Amino acid sequence: MKKFIIFFLLSIQINSNCQNIDDVFAKFKQIQNQTKHRLFNYRSYRYRPLQDFSNDLPLSFGLTLLDNPPYNGFDLSTRGVFFDSTMQMRILQLLNNEFYDGEFDDLWKKDMQKNNYADLSDSLLRIKRIEREYYYKKFIDENELVDLLKICTYINNSQIIKRVEEIYKDTTYRNNWKDAYACLVANHKEPYTSECLKKYRYKKEQSYNEQILACDYLWLIQSQQSFKYLSEYLFSDRYYTNIICENNTYKGDTLEYDIDIEYIELEDEDTNPIIAEWEYKTYSYWWVFSIIQMSILNQDLYDMLGITNDRFVSQEFLTEENRRKIYNWMKKNYGKYKIRNRW
């Protein structure tokens, strides 16, 4: 989750390589073509995430993962990258663990080159080929499925969503439950969306990690109701603590409750004490308002707070008084939120 937060902090920085809108469009088309190539050669790129292009998107023009400002009819966000129908059909093929004509033959040739099967007899080669074919076609690799389900979150395709639901219900893929569930709620598939809204409302006894997970699900739904429920987390007192040691290295973990200390004594692998010189608590309410900033466009909210919504506010800005103002505004303006375009 810390990496997830850091990614969004980085994603709003200006991409200096894009000098004008034509450069942006050219960069986007390059990314889309490269991603299409990756998809159609996906099984040759095992364990290389399809979405590793995200930091290369032209985000300097106000784009986010869940927004789609158009340019000449093109969606220049992550959603737009996967809008191509041939790419979506390939994704469905991969989710079904199906192969296009000649795909396994190509994989087998690469296997032989990689593993130097040239010295094997014909009979052993046939056995090895059968083994490899069984390996590829038995079921979807768990790590590959994580990757595919993540990109399905950005695709509004009924056939793909139906297949994701089948995967969600299949105990074979129980380790992929969270990713499949996120995809279903992001695409407003029932009954999962209604269940999510009911299950992930604010509860004071939740841990920090439980609250962050709940907030991310509510964010994925992106509806008037989900953002209203999200605002309830502005009153959370949960946080994680970064502990900076005297040698300027990070050494710390999530702390669920407040502790009144000046420093924390830790021990390294050699049991030598390391004294933490500084600690910084990141409260879950900071992430809540960051989501609101990335999602709600109503200018009067930011005018009321005296800020321009072009960067994340500091945690120190989110005093109890300001959080109360934000919550009251969210409550008063329920049904009137201007939410960034999803599709």
The domain limits of the chain are 2-97+141-176, 103-138, 196-243+277-332
**CA 98 vs CA 16, 37, 140, 174: distances in Å:** 41, 17, 10, 20
- Six-digit token string for 207: 């841990």
The predicted pLDDT at position 244 comes to 63
- Provide Rg for the chain, Cα atoms: 24
The structure tokens 């056995």 sit at 127
Residue 337, beta-bridge partner list: none
DSSP code string of 228-273: HHHHGGGG---EEEEEEETTS-B------S----S--EEE-TT--E
- Best mean pLDDT range from 74-88, 100-114, 179-193: 179-193
Report the C-alpha gap between 1 and 241 in whole angstroms: 13
More confident residue, 115 or 271: 115
Output the pLDDT for position 247.
53
Which amino acid makes up residue 166?
E
Unique residue bearing structure tokens 């692998």:
269
DSSP states of 60-110 as a string? Answer: GGS--TT---EETTEE-SHHHHT--HHHHHHHHHHHTT---TTHHHHHHHH
**pLDDT (0 to 100) of residue 23:** 78
Cβ neighbors of 100 (< 8 A, separation 6 or more) are: 40, 93
pLDDT tens digits, 217-251: 999 999 999 999 999 999 999 999 877 665 555 44
Task: Beginning with the edge strand found earlier in the chain, give each strand of the sheet holding 273-283 in spatial order.
Answer: 239-245, 273-283, 265-267
Interior angle at CA 292, CA 286 and CA 297, nearest 5: 145
**For residue 118, what are the CA distances in angstroms to 113, 114, 125, 129, 135?**
8, 10, 9, 13, 20
Cβ neighbours of residue 11 closer than 8 Å, sequence gap 6 or more: 54, 55, 59, 64, 65
The reported pTM is 0.76
Residue 41 pLDDT: 87
| pLDDT for residue 259 | 36
Closest CA to 315 of 277, 292, 278, 288: 288
Residue with tokens 């739904």, as numbered in its chain: 221
The mean pLDDT of the chain is: 80
Residue 157: which of 90, 212, 106 has the closest Cα? 90
pLDDT tens-digit map of 127-185: 988 988 888 888 787 888 888 999 898 898 999 999 999 999 999 899 999 999 999 99
